[in-house]
Chain A
Amino acid sequence: MTAALRFDPIRLPEKCEQLRKEVRAFLAEEIAAGTFDPHKPNREDTDAPEFSRRVGAKGWLGMTWPKKYGGQERSFLERYVVTEEMRVANAPTRRFFVADRQSGPVLIKYAPEHIKMDILPRICRGEICFAIGMSEPNSGSDLFAAKTRATKTDGGYLINGTKIWTSSAHIADYMIAIFRTSPPTKENRRHGLTQFLVKMKQPGIQVNPIGQITGQYEFNEVVFTDFFVPEDHVLGEVDGAWKQATSELAYERSGPERFLETYYVLTELVRAVGPNPDTRSAEGIGRLVAQLHTMRRMSVSVAGMLQAGKEPVVEASIVKDIGTVWEQQLPHRVRDLAAFVEETATNRETLEQQLDFAIKTAPKLTIQGGTTEVLRGIIARGLGLR
């Protein structure tokens, strides 16, 4: 076979089920205490510092990292369970999930030891928030067109330029960003970008909020003016960031957050149709559940590959492609199926509010973290087409 795309049927070990119970109990307590309302995805309390700290205190941040950095040395499968339970409950994870999923692993791989010892334990305690500075006004999909410059100076670099669409930059303590340290070469237009750790909330950085069509503020423009980054904040090889990008993306692309962002409308649909649905609703729900189940099994399988030390770049891209297209269609399918729901369904108002928000959310799902088109290019490369 040209393409050996195998998604082994990973079975979650017993300790994952135990952990799942603990997470559910914790979330139930938080809901009871009024930390968040699972039925209100459009709430404004996305920055929940106290909640972050409580999740950290449970040992659920940096779960797979070495103990000396505050981690728990637990498996990717255990981390998976925590992530999906948080997502399904609609918990306010925005403050910690980028650090936990992406920034921490990058630091573990590329940061000098003293920085790891300083920052990683704080991530694990849920004290700090990270942002990702990849995109620029004229460089989104084409990351290698990035222009924001890092110019060598005494003891470090001076940064000038603008990052954009930076999620959570307004609350972030740190950003991991790529900056141009040299021009691209003729042979390699990917050459010349370097990854840096940037400490936010300092002079020389200005964060300007950008509103979204959902009515929320989540991403920002970040302007750097002669902003100083010390030498030891270089992550990995100077001019070699392109080599570092791919493994980071496997983490970003295959997790449960890539098909569960609009999941809440499905639960509410099931509630609204009640225990004896007509054939049309039953069929619609059945298909959606079968599709969801299949994606989750694929996603769990990729977590198993990560656990086995593999870099499943193509598999992760497939999960993100199918997963995001699905979560984008989901609110529209639910709207279809809800058309004949009784006016008297007890949760009708909740369902309608949720649909309104999910439909506004949907367009971004196939853009954030790499567009569908870019992912399909990666899959095509994996198939040997380019």
Chain B
Amino acid sequence: MAESDNIVVETAEKIFADLADPQTINNDKKNSWQAPLWQALSEAGLPLSWVPDDLGGSGASLADGFALLNAAGRFAVAVPLAETMLAGWLLAQAKITSPEGEMTVLPASPRDRITLDADGALSGRARGVPFAKAAKHFAVLAHGKDGVCIALVDAGKGRIESGLNVGYDHSDTVTLDKVQPVTIKAAPDGVDQTSLMLMGGVARSLQIAGALEAMLDISVRYSNERVAFEKKISKFQAVQHNLARLAGESAAALAAATSAADAIANAKSFDDAVYLEAASAKIRCAEAAEKGGAIAHQVHGAIGFTIEHILHRYSLRALAWRDDFGSESHWAVELGKLVASRGADELWPLVASR
């Protein structure tokens, strides 16, 4: 996933560079950058990357879409791009046409459940739903008595309690109380809540990896500018070693995330190998966000702790993204159970499966 060998990524990066400059965003307390950015992204067909042409989207490959999310992470963009892409992907699984405008997915946590009543209405509560307040529609995964369904829901029909995550982005609680969906269809075999969480987790992993790349970049640059004790701080060995560790965390996050994206993009189903890849990516990227973010702040000293500096745009978002679609603790427990149930002698074959 090099930056430039991909037209989707190239288009996105141009838009981000023009309309999502972190310093400009940081200075704009009224958020007036959001509408032009979203409009440009929509005109380029990016929010519906994962929706085929005949369902209203632009039909990019899974791989290109994942690369786009990595680029979005490098700019720490705070518009519902990943969420709309995921919603479009989910709807497309059930051949439901995607509407225009911002979307998000429900549930966004493996522990929440939306159920389908006998009379065709949806009920349930979903916490930590990213950008629910900004969404015009929800793509909902629900459990009915005949199995798993996928539904398109008008966002106005849900009750939304707004909240902010640790990165100051909307992370809301959505309650559906006997809501009639716009469209609802049975999910195809193999698409269930776990696959939605794995997809979401990998999307977040790529965003976290992108944010870490940006943090490494600005930290290296800062260390080459800031002078202390009559030297650039980049010349102090302790600072160099911290940055080397940050490079390691950034590299690990990117490797885990791109590997998982590659696995999903090339797998026929969400099998154990994909599960290992996707769960590992979310776990390892979350760990990298914690360790890497701490180092980036350390290198920046007090300036990086100010609201004026752009560092927090990356560091806090990377930390916040840990919580969506299952935290690292959640996935670690689930992955640990999977490994244990397969037994000791199956561990290496699983790890070495590709």
A277 touches B244 (CB 8 A): no
A276 vs B333: C-alpha distance when bound (angstroms) = 11
Count of chain A residues with a beta carbon within 8 Å of a chain B beta carbon: 59
Size band of the B side of the interface? 35 or more
B347 touches A289 (CB 8 A): yes
Whether, in the assembled complex, A379 has its beta carbon less than 8 Å from a beta carbon of chain B, the answer is yes
Segment from B125-133, B145-153, B279-287 that makes contact with A: B279-287
Which residues in B have their C-beta under 8 angstroms from that of A293?
A: 256, 276-277, 280, 284, 351
Taken together as a complex, chains A and B put the C-alpha atoms of A9 and B261 apart, in Å, by: 9
B217 touches A1 (CB 8 A): yes
Q: Is the CB of A273 within 8 A of B340?
A: yes
Cβ proximity bits B1-20 to A, threshold 8 Å, 1 near / 0 not? 11100000000000000000
Smallest beta-carbon distance A193→chain B, Å: 24
Give 1 or 0 for each of B325-354: 1 = CB within 8 Å of chain A CB. 000110111111101110111011001101
* B277, chain A: closest CB distance, angstroms: 7
Partner-contacting stretch, out of A179-187, A195-203, A296-304: A296-304
A385 with B234: CB separation less than 8 A: yes
**Dominant SS at the B interface?**
helix
Q: Does B203 have its Cβ within 8 Å of any Cβ on chain A? A: no
When the two chains form their complex, are residues B241 and A380 in contact, meaning their CB atoms are under 8 A apart?
A: yes
> For residue B328, which residue of chain A has the nearest CB?
A287
B312 smallest CB distance to A (angstroms): 20
A5 CB contacts on chain B under 8 angstroms: 247, 250-251, 254
A297 to B239: give the CA distance in the assembly, Å: 28
A277 to B333, CA, bound (A): 9
Cα distance, A290 to B255, chains bound together (Å): 12
Tell me, rounded to whole Å, the shortest Cβ–Cβ distance linking A288 to chain B. Answer: 9
Q: Closest CB-CB distance, B289 to chain A, in whole Å?
A: 14
B173 within 8 A of A: no
Task: Say yes or no: is A267 at the interface (Cβ < 8 Å to chain B).
Answer: yes
**B21 smallest CB distance to A (angstroms):** 16
A277 touches B337 (CB 8 A): yes
Is B61 an interface residue when CB atoms closer than 8 A count as contact? no
A322 at the interface (CB under 8 A from B): yes
Q: Which of B40-48, B75-83, B97-105, B218-226 contacts A (4 or more CB under 8 A)?
A: B218-226
A286 within 8 Å of B (CB atoms): yes
User: Would A279 and B247 count as touching, CB distance under 8 A?
Assistant: no
Q: Which residues of B contact A276 (CB under 8 A)?
A: 340-341
Which residues of A sit under 8 angstroms from B332, Cβ to Cβ? 282-287, 290
Among residues of B, the one whose C-beta sits closest to the C-beta of A20 is: B352
As a 0/1 sequence over residues 128 to 162 of chain A, the CB contacts with chain B under 8 angstroms (1 = contact) are 00000000000000000000000000000000000
Distance in angstroms between the alpha carbons of A284 and B335 in the assembled complex: 10
Given A5-B250, A9-B262: A376 and B245 within 8 A (CB)? yes
B39 at the interface (CB under 8 A from A): no
B38 to chain A, nearest CB (A): 25
Residue of B with least CB distance to A337: B336
Assuming A5-B254, A267-B344, A301-B255, is B224 touching A385 (CB within 8 A)? yes
Q: Which residues of B contact A20 (CB under 8 A)?
A: 352
The interface centre, meaning the residue of B220, B280, B328, B331 with most chain A CB atoms within 10 A of its CB, is: B280
Q: Contacting B224 at CB < 8 Å: which of A277, A290, A382, A384? A: A384
Closest beta carbon of chain B to A196's beta carbon, Å: 33
**B280–chain A nearest beta-carbon distance, Å:** 4
CA distance A385 to B276 in the complex (A): 36
Q: Give A298 to B220 CA distance when docked, in angstroms.
A: 22
Query: Contact between A294 and B245 (Cβ–Cβ < 8 Å)?
Result: no
Q: Are B255 and A298 in contact (CB under 8 A)?
A: yes
CA distance A81 to B353 in the complex (A): 11
B120 within 8 A of A: no
What are 27 of the A-B contact pairs (CB < 8 Å)? A3-B216, A6-B1, A6-B254, A8-B258, A12-B354, A275-B341, A282-B333, A282-B334, A282-B340, A283-B329, A284-B336, A285-B339, A286-B333, A287-B336, A289-B280, A289-B335, A290-B331, A291-B284, A322-B248, A375-B244, A377-B240, A380-B244, A382-B247, A383-B220, A385-B223, A385-B224, A385-B240
* Chain A interface residues toward B at CB < 8 A: 1-3, 5-9, 11-12, 20, 81, 84-85, 88, 266-268, 270-271, 273-277, 279, 281-287, 289-298, 301, 315, 318, 321-322, 373, 375-377, 379-380, 382-386
| Closest 7 pairs (CB-CB, A-B) | A286-B332, A282-B336, A286-B336, A380-B240, A286-B335, A271-B344, A290-B283
